[in-house]
């Protein structure tokens, strides 16, 4: 598909107001209506196939510096509430929807999605053909893009140049932008059974809650924490969180992970944490064509053959073949999970040390609960280590 423009159909099939544009680095321009804040927003354009949970998506730190396209046609039906945020703010760089709800309808709603986007300064665009856009991203790959509206809307050539001048995702060290400024503790619910140090690479709020429900006191530590800082909390285990950016930039987190593995401290990682563990045991990572983002993505455990329908958000993945066993400086390891859609590696398990990780999100409130027992597996590892 070459360069061109798109005029947005209104809700009755005619041509609507086109006072905003989504501009891709390959020169493709999609026209639509301003949604949320107006101005200019630059980032990597990606699509999410989730039909629900847009509030969790928008507040997921893993989406930092990304312009998210929702493939579900209608967004905003349930408005915005004060309970479902996965962090302290909206992290997406920009937001793209086809048919925004005119009036939200949910007993928990406090305000409309467009109002929240505007309040937090998130530049969005509505009314464009998200099916065509998604097919373009699938064929051409995730790429740099910009949402332009209001005074930021200029001629196409100028907007394309702005997009091309923006930073790429490969080589981007973004976890440092989203990590906690200082340590904090999430208390165990009921009897305290374990203490876990959680390295915050962009942790979501529901992750400590899932551990707290299992009697775990979670000490969330900033990315810059040393291994000595980890040991100060007397942890029974180490958790590596999700997060944004290129895992190849995370030398500090990888070194800290190696120290934990060397001491056989039980370790569990998800998403970005899976890539950190993989690199710590000698695997490479690569940028995917358009990544996995949604709450309907199948994953197979190579040991049991069991399929889980998972929530995912990643644009990088581990190199290797599903089921492959290999040697590391910490003993034998196996690439334990994979996505049957494309063969992407989705997990790592060490066979001679108490450590494992998965590429998906077992804590995801917007998704199913197939993967929640992974937290119980982490508990079992810590029990056995005792």
pLDDT values of the chain reduced to their tens digit, one per residue, 386 residues: 333 333 333 332 334 567 999 999 999 999 999 999 999 999 999 999 999 999 999 999 999 999 999 999 999 999 999 999 999 999 999 999 999 999 999 999 999 999 999 999 999 999 999 999 999 999 999 999 999 999 999 999 999 999 999 999 999 999 999 999 999 999 999 999 999 999 999 999 999 999 999 999 999 999 999 999 999 999 999 999 999 999 999 999 999 999 999 999 999 999 999 999 999 999 999 999 999 999 999 999 999 999 999 999 999 999 999 999 999 999 999 999 999 999 999 999 999 999 999 999 998 766 667 788 899 999 999 999 98
pLDDT, tens only, 279-326 = 999 999 999 999 999 999 999 999 999 999 999 999 999 999 999 999
Q: Verify whether residue 363 is a known catalytic residue.
A: yes
d(CA 316, CA 226): 25
Set 44, 56, 271, 346: catalytic member: 271
pLDDT, tens only, 29-86 = 999 999 999 999 999 999 999 999 999 999 999 999 999 999 999 999 999 999 999 9
Set 292, 314, 337, 361: catalytic member: 361
Q: Verify whether residue 44 is a known catalytic residue.
A: no
Q: Verify whether residue 64 is a known catalytic residue.
A: no
Which H, E and C letters describe 342-377, residue by residue?
CCCEEEEEECCCCEEEECCCCCCCCCCCCCCHHHHH
pLDDT at 372: 84
Set 25, 217, 346, 363: catalytic member: 363
- Helix ranges (H only) for the chain are 54-58, 113-119, 130-140, 156-164, 175-178, 206-212, 227-232, 251-262, 272-280, 373-385
d(CA 381, CA 197): 15
């Amino acid at each position: 598909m070459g360069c061109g423009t798109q005029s947005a159909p209104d809700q009755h099939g005619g041509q609507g107001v086109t006072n905003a544009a989504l501009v891709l680095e390959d020169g493709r321009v999609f026209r639509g209506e301003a949604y949320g804040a107006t101005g200019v927003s630059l980032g990597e354009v990606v699509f999410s196939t989730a039909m629900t949970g847009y509030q969790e998506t928008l507040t997921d730190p893993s989406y930092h510096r990304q312009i998210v396209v929702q493939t579900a046609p209608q967004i905003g039906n349930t408005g915005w509430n004060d309970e479902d945020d996965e962090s302290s703010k909206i992290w997406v760089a920009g937001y793209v929807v086809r048919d925004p709800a005119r009036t939200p309808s949910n007993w928990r709603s406090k305000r409309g999605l467009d109002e929240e986007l505007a309040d937090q300064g998130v530049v969005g665009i509505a009314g464009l053909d998200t099916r065509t856009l998604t097919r373009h991203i699938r064929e051409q790959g995730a790429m740099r893009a910009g949402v332009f509206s209001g005074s930021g809307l200029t001629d196409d050539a100028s907007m394309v140049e702005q997009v091309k001048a923006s930073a790429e995702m490969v080589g981007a060290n973004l976890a440092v932008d989203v990590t906690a400024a200082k340590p904090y503790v999430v208390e165990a619910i009921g009897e305290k059974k374990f203490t876990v140090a959680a390295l915050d690479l962009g942790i979501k709020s529901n992750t400590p809650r899932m551990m707290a429900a299992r009697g775990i006191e979670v000490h969330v530590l900033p990315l810059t924490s040393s291994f000595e800082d980890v040991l100060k909390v007397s942890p029974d285990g180490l958790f590596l969180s999700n997060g944004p950016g290129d895992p190849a930039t995370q030398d500090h987190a990888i070194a800290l992970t190696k120290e934990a593995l060397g001491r056989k401290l039980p370790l569990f990682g998800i998403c970005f944490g899976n890539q950190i563990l993989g690199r710590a045991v000698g695997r490479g990572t690569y940028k995917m064509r358009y990544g996995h983002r949604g709450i309907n993505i199948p994953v197979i455990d190579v040991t049991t053959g069991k399929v889980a329908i998972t929530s995912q958000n990643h644009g990088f993945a581990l190199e290797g073949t599903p089921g492959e066993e290999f040697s590391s400086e910490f003993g034998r390891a196996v690439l334990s999970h994979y996505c049957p859609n494309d063969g992407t590696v989705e997990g790592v398990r060490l066979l001679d040390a108490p450590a494992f990780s998965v590429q998906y999100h077992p804590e995801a409130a917007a998704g199913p609960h197939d993967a929640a027992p992974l937290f119980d597996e982490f508990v079992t590892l810590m029990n056995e280590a005792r």
